[in-house]
Amino acid sequence: MSVIAFAKNWNGKFKNSTFELVSYTKALANQLNTNMVVLSIGEVAEEELKLLGNYGADKVLTVSDPQLNTLTSRAYADIVAKAADSVGAEVIVLSDNNSGKAIAPRVSVKLKAGLVAAVQELPVSLEPFVVKKRVFSGKAFGHVQIKSDKKILTIAKNCFGLVKNPCDITIEEFAVDIDTNLFKVKIVEEEEQKDKVILSDADVVVSAGRGMRSPENWAPVEELAEVLGAATACSRPVSDEGWRGHEEHVGQTGKVIAPNLYIAAGISGAIQHVAGISRSKCIVAINTDPEAPIFSVADYGIVGDVMDVLPRLTEAFRNSKS
């Protein structure tokens, strides 16, 4: 028996969420009194793979085939399932991100392994195996029992944190036949913003709503984000009106995020918006209406016009840095 974690890379690099995954899986392996194996797919430099050892990984299996450098969910799922079988894994752990959402369900079907997505913490019990997850878009938590022998979890971002646990690491190439029939989906073009902080990865998010009154008024939001090294986001009406792109919409039907700090400027805080931000560690709300529901979920609040408050806040952050 063992536990296996799938460590996704982006252009050969891991993210903090990968290290959080390894930290979680190590703690799970300890809880189950077993060992952990980490699986990496695609070409990743040895130096980068060794970073996994900082968080408790002592064994890494890597499939460093260049045709796997971009995510092909069928091929990845096939490899994850084969690696899990080869190490006799009882639990398979992935991150709850785009790739985890694409791969984990396929592995679940392949191995007939019960899957629980967006798990919040270590299992609440092992016999029976019960984990806790967000349900009803964050309005509640559910305790879910996995009844199958093999189990799959995806873990929610920022649910566990990073736990340093330096280990001597061995890296082994995992030999696997890759079925080229699984590459029927062809990527013909790819665009990536290199200059902006990625919303789903950001530790600090500055978000704005209809209180900004017009799309021309966004400069104070962007300036504050720049000073904080933050990503920008928006409420649903703002993206529906086309003031900002859909990729910035946070909320129940947009992105669900969990930054350390979320600043909501001119956002009233409808229940659907709160569903997307309730896992933030700290929420700051700025709104003209002292009765706005956003203040009931915020940790700190300022009643005032965003167009006045945002520039002052930017100035205050700038001064505190210098």
Partner 1 sequence: MKILVCISNVPDTTTKVKFKEGDSLFDDSGVQWIINPWDELALTRAMELKEDAGNSVNEICVIHVGGASADATLRKALAIGADKAVRIDACPADAYHVAGQIAEYLKENPFDIIFSGIESSDYNGSSVGAMIAEFMDYPGISSVTSVNLDDDDIQVNRAIPGGKQVIKTETPFVAVVQKGIANEPRIPSMRGIMMARKKPLEVKPAAELEVLTESIKFELPQEKGACKMIDSESTEQLVDLLKNEAKVL
Q: How far is the CB of 194 from partner 1 (least distance, A)?
A: 8
How far apart are the C-alpha atoms of 277 and 145, rounded to whole Å?
26
Residues at the annotated binding site for FAD?
210, 235-236, 266-273, 287
* 50 versus 281: smaller Cβ distance to partner 1: 281
Cβ nearer to partner 1, comparing 140 with 175: 140
Rounded CA separation 238/244 (Å): 6
DSSP assignment, residue 219? H
Q: Closest separation between CB of residue 223 and partner 1, Å?
A: 14
Nearest approach in angstroms of CB 168 to partner 1 is 32
How many whole angstroms separate alpha carbon 274 and alpha carbon 209?
13
Q: How many CA atoms lie within 13 A of 153 on its CB side?
A: 30
What tokens were used for 303? 């009643």
Measured distance CA(86)–CA(312) in Å, rounded: 58
Short-list 288, 239, 243, CA closest to 268? 288
Give whichever of 53 and 262 is closer to partner 1, judged by the CB atom: 262
Pick between residue 112 and residue 164 the one whose CB is nearest to partner 1.
112
Q: Is the peptide bond before 128 cis (omega within 30 degrees of 0)?
A: yes
- Binding-site residue numbers are 210, 235-236, 266-273, 287
Start-to-end CA distance of the chain, whole Å, equals 53
Q: What are phi and psi of 301, to 5 degrees?
A: -135, 150
Least CB distance from residue 39 to partner 1, whole Å?
Answer: 18
Q: Are the C-beta atoms of residues 309 and 285 closer than 8 Å to each other?
A: no
Strands 114-119 and 151-155 come out as parallel
Q: How far is the CB of 122 from partner 1 (least distance, A)?
A: 16
Beta carbon nearer to partner 1, 214 or 320: 320
Smallest gap from residue 52 Cβ to partner 1 (A): 20
Considering the complex, what minimum distance in angstroms separates the CB of residue 37 from partner 1?
23
Nearer to partner 1, 180 or 193 (CB): 193
Residue with tokens 């392994």: 113
Angle, helix 98-111 to helix 73-86, in steps of 10 degrees? 50
What the block records as the tokens of 15 is 């993210």
* 3-state SS class at 290: coil
157 CB-near residues (< 8 Å, 6+ apart): 17, 20, 95, 96, 97, 200, 258
State the residue for tokens 């017009």. Answer: 214
C-beta closer to partner 1: residue 130 or 163: 130
